Amino acid sequence: MEKDNKKIKILMAEDDKFISRAYKDGLTRAGFDIIMAADGNEAIALVKSELPDIILLDLIMPDKNGFEALEEFKKMPETKDTPVIILSNLGQDTDIKQSKELGAVDYLIKSNYSMPEVIEKIKKHLLK
């Protein structure tokens, strides 16, 4: 998928190897350019060098969790306006509320969304 004649770049921060491989395959097949991070620190480092169009962020990760990474993304001048979609297994109202307060544009519970639905959410937030 393209935006302004270039492939849309997605940074996905996910520590589960099986899940990250499945999402990378599905999103790559959908035409996106995917950069993977296995933890919050790696995501923060990659976001600075890669400047993705959108970020998919898990909350439960080693080293630095998704809440901490999201907070840092929103403080950085280069990524403060980059849409962040939380993609997590956590579904408690407090987690959803905290994510939105920190600046996430959407909150998806992994088990409730198929790959085509996740792709539609990505497109929705990029075409705003």
Q: What is the domain-level CATH number for residue 90?
A: 3.40.50.2300
Cα separation, 115 vs 31, whole angstroms: 13
* Under 8 Å between Cβ of 13 and 40: yes
Decide: pTM greater than 0.85. yes
* pLDDT per residue as tens digits for the range 33-84: 999 999 999 999 999 999 999 999 999 998 899 999 999 999 999 899 999 9
Q: Number of structural domains, the chain?
A: 1
Residue 39 near residue 17 (C-beta atoms within 8 A) = no
List the domain range (segments joined by +) for residue 23.
2-126
Confidence bin at 127 (pLDDT 50/70/90): confident
Cβ-contact 57, 84 below 8 angstroms: yes
